[in-house]
Structures are given as C-alpha cells and as structure tokens.
Amino acid sequence: MLDFIAALGLVFAIEGILFAAVPNFAKEALRSAAETPPERMRLIGLASAAVGVVLVWLVRG
C-alpha cells in the first residue's frame, strides 16, 4: 500500500510540474483529450496500464 501511495504522489508531482512549467501545452493536451472518441481513449488507457504494469514488473520483479 505504501508503494501505491508513493506512486500516486509521484503522479501528482509530475502533473504539477507539467502544469506549472508549460500551462499552455497542458491546456491543449486536455482539450485534445476531451475531443478524443471514447473508444480511442479506452484503447490508450489500456495500453498505458499495460506498459505501466510491465515497467513495474521489470523494476520490481
């Protein structure tokens, strides 16, 4: 559980840095995501989750 909380904190830190460093890019990325069809978002989400699981498995396994 502590690893999960640490990972969540890292996500917040990276997103915070992104919004602080390049806010216009972040706004455009959010706008683009809002216009993306749900099927494509689902596929991107599944692919991202799979890559994340593989990365964690490689590092921790």
Q: Give yes or no for residue 46 having a pLDDT over 90.
A: yes
pLDDT for the residue numbered 3: 87
The separation between the first and the last C-alpha atoms of the chain, rounded to the nearest angstrom, is: 17
pLDDT for the residue numbered 61: 84
Pseudo-torsion of CA 49, 55, 57, 58, nearest 10°?
160
Q: Pinpoint the alpha helices (H) of the chain.
A: 2-21, 23-35, 38-60
Q: How many CA atoms lie within 13 A of 31 on its CB side?
A: 6
Q: What is the pTM of this model?
A: 0.70
Angle made by CA atoms 26, 31, 34, in degrees to the nearest 5: 125
pLDDT band, residue 40 (cuts 50/70/90): very high
